[in-house]
Amino acid sequence: ENALKNISKTKEHVFVEIRMKTKTGEDLEVSLRAALVKDKKFSKIIGVVRDITDQKKAEHILRDQYKKLKELDQFRSDLVRRTSHELKTPLISLFSSTQYLLDNYGEKLDNEVLRFVKMINRGGRRLKNLTDNLLDAYNIQSKKLTLKKEKMDLVQSIKDCANDLIFSLEERDLYLKEQLPDSFFIVADKARIEQVILNLLSNAIKNTPPKGLILVKLEHDESFADIIIKDTGIGLTEGEKQKLFKEFGKIERAGIDSNLDTEGSGLGLFISKEIVELHGGKLLVQSGGRNKGSTFEAKIPLSSELAQ
């Protein structure tokens, strides 16, 4: 009634949604769209009334489900964050202590003991990487991943990362070849760039069968430093490349090659891409297809303020 009176006063059309009861007492939600139409003799109000009860019920269900999904997503994020923090300290202790044994007493340990220490070290590293990756994925989703840039020698960082994976290379019977200048300085988040390098090298190690070759080299032009990691591994199909950088984008290759290391969360390359892009760079991949190897290229922008 008020809507119709408003049309008469303003001479404009109106659209309202109202509740009303039928003769049987049933509640309905309806939409009313009406307008004032005049001719020479009369003024008329023409309108359309539509029953939107089912539509409103559906909207209510969707809002309720959306609210529940948001609460569930928040619970998941909080669980990941808290669990990662709780696990991080004991895992660091486990990994660091076994790494110390390998670095300082590896040659003195009995072969059987050495095998078990390496096994514990490898498991500790994987669990530590998983908790770190889960926490990083949470920070990426929450827009909390920040960079602490500093002047760093990219060549030294590449060498350090390769050295950290020396046991993995030996265990997989892989040859690592380096083509690096004596030094090359950039301004970047050192810890995050090394995280990218470790992820790319680890990915190459996992996906290259024994006796294979992994090449790591550093190139640059006036705008970018290019970290290039090339392997002679299983390669990537076009479909796999589309999935590669997605969160939890783990590629399943059951039955393709039993010599491949299939363990992993599928977070490493996703996080690496986010880190490189946060620096203003790009993470690219090329592959000729199955069994033709892969080449990953992390392009890191050069700072105009950095004096070479």
- Per the structure block, which two tokens stand in for 226? 């290019």
Check residue 180 and give its pLDDT: 96
Helix (H) or strand (E) holding 116: helix 111-141
Amino acid (one-letter) located at 173: D
- Per the structure block, which two tokens stand in for 125? 């590293």
State the pTM of this model.
Answer: 0.64
Hey, CA dihedral for 151, 179, 235, 118, is it positive or negative?
A: negative
In the numeric block, the tokens 């301004």 are attached to 187
Check residue 308 and give its pLDDT: 41
Q: How far apart are CA 205 and CA 171, in angstroms?
A: 10
Check residue 299 and give its pLDDT: 96
CATH for 2-51? Answer: 2.10.70
Instruction: Give CA torsion, residues 207, 137, 76, 80, to 10 deg.
Output: 80
Segment-wise mean pLDDT, segments of 10 residues, the chain, 308 residues? 58 73 83 75 75 88 87 73 72 84 86 86 78 78 84 95 89 94 94 93 92 95 95 90 75 57 70 93 93 95 63
Q: Kindly report, as residue ranges, where domains of CATH 1.10.287 are found in the chain.
A: 57-141
Q: Kindly report, as residue ranges, where domains of CATH 2.10.70 are found in the chain.
A: 2-51
**Around Cβ 198, how many Cβ atoms within 10 Å?**
20
Per the CB < 8 A criterion, the answer to whether 100 and 109 are in contact is no
Q: Kindly report, as residue ranges, where domains of CATH 3.30.565.10 are found in the chain.
A: 150-301
CATH for 150-301? Answer: 3.30.565.10
Amino acid (one-letter) located at 92: I
Domain 57-141: CATH architecture, name and number where available: Orthogonal Bundle (1.10)
Check residue 153 and give its pLDDT: 96
Check residue 282 and give its pLDDT: 95
Check residue 86 and give its pLDDT: 73
